[in-house]
Structure 1
Amino acid sequence: MFVRYIKVTLMIIAMVAPTYGEFVLDSMPTGTEGGTNFDDETMFTVDDSGKIVNRDQGHGHEDFMVSGSTKERKAFGKSFSLYLYALSRVEDKGRNIGAKKIVGVIDRDKDGHIGIRDGRGNGFNPLEGLIVGMNARDLDSSLALQLVAVDVAHINAPDLAVVVNRNDTSKKLTFGYRGSGADFELSKGTIDLSSLDLTVQGGDSIRELMSIFAEDYKGEGGFRVSGFRIEVIAGSKKDSLF
């Protein structure tokens, strides 16, 4: 009796939500800062051709210069917003990592790059941070917005920072100066956040989606946030687009 062994190879294919376009938001020097401006909400509209439009464009006080578009017609004519909340002191440990301890004030340098204003300097100093949220209530529930990247600048020793999903704090990453040992080592550039799953479903709003903050190190920091990248993706409804 002969026994034939058959080798079976299983292929597991990761299900990735389809992407329908990307919006790029570059921080502007005309944006909200100083005084008592601890938070800021910027409204955007997708026009009838799919291009993103800043509602403040041409008014002289734009928070962001925007570019990009979506091919998904269900997003045409719809609006969404990006919310920023400055922190002069952040929770840097435990299950509530990235949460507010003490409110801060938004600062923008001559290039528009965002920091936290206080007596130590106006970049991100130790335990200063920024909470980022998005409002997608006007979008169809078959769509979602995902914050996929943050642009940073002026990273020098001893800058070390954390980016964490505020709704699932097990999802986090680090960045810092070259040679720091962080997940991303750079002086400036784009940090990929796709692994953090920073997603807001159409019809929903999350005020605390992400927190970005400087770690508790000795010395004065100074890195800044220079922009964000947001993708339009398929929502979680199974009967939505298929």
Structure 2
Amino acid sequence: MSKPFDCVLFDLDGTLLDTSYDFSYALNLLCEQHQLTPPSYDVVRNTVSQGGAAVTALAFSPDNPAKFEQQRQAFLALYKQHINLHTHIFPGLLAGLVHLTKHNMPWGIVTNKPQGLTEHLLSFFEFPTPPKTVICGDTLAVRKPHPEPMWLAAQECGVDPKRCLYLGDHPRDIEAGMNAGMQTGAVLFGYMSAEKMTNLAQADHIFRTPYDITKFLTERVK
């Protein structure tokens, strides 16, 4: 049986890497500086996919935009400083990347994380083969769920978008993959509960654990 796709693309935070602990740690440090009680780790984890401003707003009021922007920038600076303190590849997923490497299948990353933070974070990781493409939230003038970042990733991998599988843990990831004409996989071990994955039924595949992804890849890529 021929493989159903020729490229695998991953969202970054909550899909490929578990970055939630370092987001929580950075916010804790900022709260400590301001003598505030930090939100719980679980609250931060459930907010990571919404971006730095949303995480900052868990502890600081956005009512004063100028002051809030200073707090957001301070949070991001602390996050960058401690970006790889606790972050790791989701357990069980590395074997899937090894399998893709063994079968010479390109893989890549499409994230809404800014390029500066993405490149800094990825510099700490050595994958079986480096990603063929890394498209960030500011690579283009638009970002997910717009299809252009997805199309650029497919182009850089030399694969027709229809032959790409995109994996993500947020409704916009499924939307982005669908908008680009890609196959989609909903990741339920990330930062969004199944209840909040509002378009879950539209995903081509559902993965409840990283091991499910590896099992799927080893079965389909031969």
Q: TM > 0.5 between the two?
A: no
Higher helix share: 2
Q: Which has the larger radius of gyration?
A: 1
For the superposition of Structure 1 and Structure 2, which TM-score range results when normalised by the shorter chain?
under 0.3
Higher strand share: 1
TM norm structure 1: 0.26
